[in-house]
Amino acid sequence: MAEELIKVTIDGQEFEVEKGRPLIDVINEKGFGVPSFCYYADLELQASCRMCLVRIEKMPKLQASCVIRCTDGMEVTTKSEEIEKAQRAMGEFLLANHPLDCPVCDRGGECELQEVIFDWGDVEERFDEPKNAHPEKFLSPIVANDQQRCILCKRCTRVCHEWMGEDAIEAGNRGSNTVIGTYGGWLNCSQCGNCIEVCPTGTLLDGVYRHETRPWELDQTITTCTYCSDGCQLSVGSRADEVHRIVARDRYVNGINGEFLCIKGRFAHGFVNHGDRIKTPLIRYKKGGKLIPSTWDDAIAFAAERIKESKKAGVVATSRLTNETVHTLKRFADECRDGTSYAVSDTYDLAPFFENLSAPLCTHKEIRFAETIVVIGGDVDEEQPLTAKQIRQAVRNGGANLILVNDTPSRLSHQASQFIHVNPGTVEAFVLALADPSAADMAAAKMGIGRAEIDKARETANATKGDLIIMFGKELGAEAQAVAANLPSRHENRNVKLHPLAGYCNSVGASDMMPGRKPVADVVAGSDALLIAGSLSDEEFAAADLASKPFVAVQELFLTDTAAAADVVFPAASFAESDGTYTNNDGFVQRVRRAIDPVHQAKPDWMITSLLASELGADFGYSFSASAVFRSIAESHEAYEGLRYPDLKDETRPVRVKHKLVSGADVSGAVASLRDRVSQFPDAADKITEEPRVGHKLHRVTTMTGKTPQFHLLANGNPKPDDLLVSPLFQFNPDGSPKKEEESEVAAG
């Protein structure tokens, strides 16, 4: 889009800028710098802090530059005695009720208010009226709130409203009594913590990192989140080989997600330094025996010998592993023994999608500026929070059409311009209806909707001039995926983009790394020696019966069910302890960086596999350097060709993987089998009308999230304690029952 360029003069220098841009953005971009607290790019304007005052010629008073749009011939002065006087007066007002308790405030050191005031050197304080004092309290197990530090910039309320669509936090009362809070004083929301992130002062604070250390003591390592497939860029704050917190603050990291993170990415890092991590390699010498701590040499030798003895070996990767690991596992399967089968454990296999891909994947930025977004199935709010945020902003701030096809209502369905509420489990029928208009009537009947709804969606899509983005979730089977991947090639609009709502952080990468993989069940059933990196899902584990296998080796962080059933367990390094890359659902390959040394005796997954391979006589050509593994990936995978780690070093410019596009592929076979499938759906079914609780998936206690104690409370209903001044962790047991009562019962008994 070519914007009209106009001339703006700032402090005597003339610049060419796009017409209509916020003046404050231009001033800061050109390096003049005005302080501001309430302005936040891409949020609704507030203009309440009055710090970004500038003098604009021909305007009678000083103007707040955040609400001024650039116009031609504007002459702006950013620094003068008059402006500084006004700003200092505002600073004095802001400090009128702000306690100077920086030494105990967790925000001290990266507080925007502190920085601005500190730059001035001194601020005269003339207020001697009593301050509106409130004690520091908890809003939830994860969010701590100190009301009197608030400067009422309302960034938190706007973020909650615009990014999360939750309206969980608002400014109550009036005048000097205004406080940020909630109805009833307790925060029941998805606990994303974005309000904490954007807060310019220490009003909202991280309850997990509470009083742990100070920001300048932390080493900030830019890395990629290990939870969902959105691949948010975050900064791991570590000190003395311990991960203390995770933030996405733009002073440290500026990735695809800006400052956005979800509860899991931001708070569920307790597993990294958890005491339950496997400390040494473990060997079960005899079936039915115990796992006995051992040395690396013994464990590798033992495992190699058993794999050598076996008739047929199998390798199972999981989609939480780095590309480097999955690639090494693939090479292990190919080069160590002939006929070794391999699989990737994931919520759903993306192979049919990438084989028929007819349009590029869309980026998160494109979602924000899309014109029409079609979301077929999935649970974006709970499983891909960044995608959900981008959709929400596209609808709210960009006026995009959102067509949501799902069997369960969700937060996003309130904002959808068209919510197609289908019968449970019939989402695939919508793909059929789009691909094959002749089957639309049948599909509509199976979905329990009117034909008109499909036609309306089709009309909206056809009328789209800008980007049309089609997203789909795990409800789509292999045929439906193939058909969905082929949809853009049969659409007249050429700006169609696809977005798979993949399950895990490296679902896309693992799919790229292991072409020709088999289903997990086949690999497990067909081999008598297994190497599993990570853990199988509960269903896979139940079906696998690992105990009956002659030999199973597992690389894991914790003694999960899979690891407990293994004969050899190797302690693997977590994402914070190893180098590597993840490929997200945009197709961006992003770096995972080592923030701390591996805890105990853990080693990165790929290193374990290559150690085992060299014991078996295969030489991969790398043993210590992740960048050498990536070079091997670049050499053997077309999509990653020519990439090296230095190309990936800048998180602000992520690098796209070149997935092969197939245009005009014949998917009539897939359409036919999809039609057969859909025709077998039951004709009538009760629709799910109840909207699930916010956070029903985000707050789930899993192997990783369960290591952060706050998640147990959230999963057990987030009970409100009697005393809000003390962390709920000290007042409740992990199951959500109050601690005090138990004590008194013990005393009584």
Smaller CB separation from other proteins, 170 or 250: 170
720 is an interface residue for other proteins by CB under 8 A: yes
User: How far, in Å, are 74, 249, 390 from residue 385 at the CA level?
Assistant: 40, 17, 9
**Cα angle vertex 313, ends 310, 318, to 5°?**
145
The CB-of-136 to other proteins minimum distance in angstroms stands at 8
Q: What is the DSSP letter of 336?
A: T
Smaller CB separation from other proteins, 211 or 600: 211
183 is an interface residue for other proteins by CB under 8 A: yes
Smaller CB separation from other proteins, 184 or 664: 184
The CB-of-268 to other proteins minimum distance in angstroms stands at 19
Contact yes or no for 185/723 (Cβ under 8 A): no
Select the residue interacting with other proteins from 57, 84, 115, 217 (CB under 8 A). Answer: 217
130 is an interface residue for other proteins by CB under 8 A: no
The CB-of-724 to other proteins minimum distance in angstroms stands at 5
Restricting to residues 411-450, which ones interact with other proteins according to CB under 8 A? 414
Residue 193: name the closest of 134, 145, 121 by CA: 145
Restricting to residues 80-119, which ones interact with other proteins according to CB under 8 A? 102-104, 108
Binding part of the chain for other proteins, among 40-48, 213-221, 326-334, 542-550 by CB under 8 A, reads 213-221
Tokens 């057969």 -> residue: 676
Residue 721: name the closest of 335, 63, 144 by CA: 144
The CB-of-709 to other proteins minimum distance in angstroms stands at 13
Restricting to residues 145-164, which ones interact with other proteins according to CB under 8 A? 147
Q: Which residues pair with 245 in a beta bridge?
A: 237
Select the residue interacting with other proteins from 19, 131, 211, 693 (CB under 8 A). Answer: 211
User: How far, in Å, are 13, 21, 32, 120 from residue 27 at the CA level?
Assistant: 11, 11, 6, 19
Q: Strand 233-239 vs strand 219-224: parallel, antiparallel, or unpaired? A: antiparallel
Determine the 3-state secondary structure of 270 from DSSP: coil
Smaller CB separation from other proteins, 412 or 566: 412
Alpha helices in 472-552 (DSSP H): 478-486, 507-513, 520-525, 538-544
DSSP code string of 352-377: HHHHS--SPBPPHHHHHT-SEEEEES
Select the residue interacting with other proteins from 33, 172, 437, 682 (CB under 8 A). Answer: 172
Kind and range of the H or E element at 334? Answer: helix 323-335
Other CB atoms within 10 A of residue 516 CB: 10
Binding part of the chain for other proteins, among 169-177, 320-328, 473-481, 504-512 by CB under 8 A, reads 169-177
Kind and range of the H or E element at 451? Answer: helix 451-463
Smaller CB separation from other proteins, 48 or 254: 48
The CB-of-130 to other proteins minimum distance in angstroms stands at 12
Q: How far apart are CA 506 and CA 406, in angstroms?
A: 25
Binding part of the chain for other proteins, among 183-191, 292-300, 353-361, 553-561 by CB under 8 A, reads 183-191
Contact yes or no for 565/552 (Cβ under 8 A): yes
Smaller CB separation from other proteins, 205 or 530: 205
Binding part of the chain for other proteins, among 15-23, 177-185, 272-280, 596-604 by CB under 8 A, reads 177-185
The CB-of-154 to other proteins minimum distance in angstroms stands at 11
**Cα angle vertex 634, ends 351, 627, to 5°?**
120
Select the residue interacting with other proteins from 522, 723, 735, 742 (CB under 8 A). Answer: 723
Binding part of the chain for other proteins, among 166-174, 461-469, 483-491, 643-651 by CB under 8 A, reads 166-174
Smaller CB separation from other proteins, 216 or 624: 216
45 is an interface residue for other proteins by CB under 8 A: no
Q: How far apart are CA 562 and CA 575, in angstroms?
A: 20
Residue 485: name the closest of 562, 395, 376, 563 by CA: 376
Other CB atoms within 10 A of residue 411 CB: 18
Residue 162: name the closest of 36, 42, 267, 22 by CA: 42
Select the residue interacting with other proteins from 184, 399, 642, 749 (CB under 8 A). Answer: 184
Select the residue interacting with other proteins from 23, 74, 86, 169 (CB under 8 A). Answer: 169
Q: How far apart are CA 319 and CA 509, in angstroms?
A: 8
Kind and range of the H or E element at 729? Answer: helix 728-731
Lookup: tokens for 534: 């990570």
The CB-of-210 to other proteins minimum distance in angstroms stands at 5
The CB-of-333 to other proteins minimum distance in angstroms stands at 45
Smaller CB separation from other proteins, 189 or 336: 189
Smaller CB separation from other proteins, 177 or 652: 177
Chain positions contacting other proteins, by CB under 8 A: 102-104, 108, 134-137, 147, 166-175, 179, 181-186, 210-214, 216-217, 414, 720, 723-727, 730
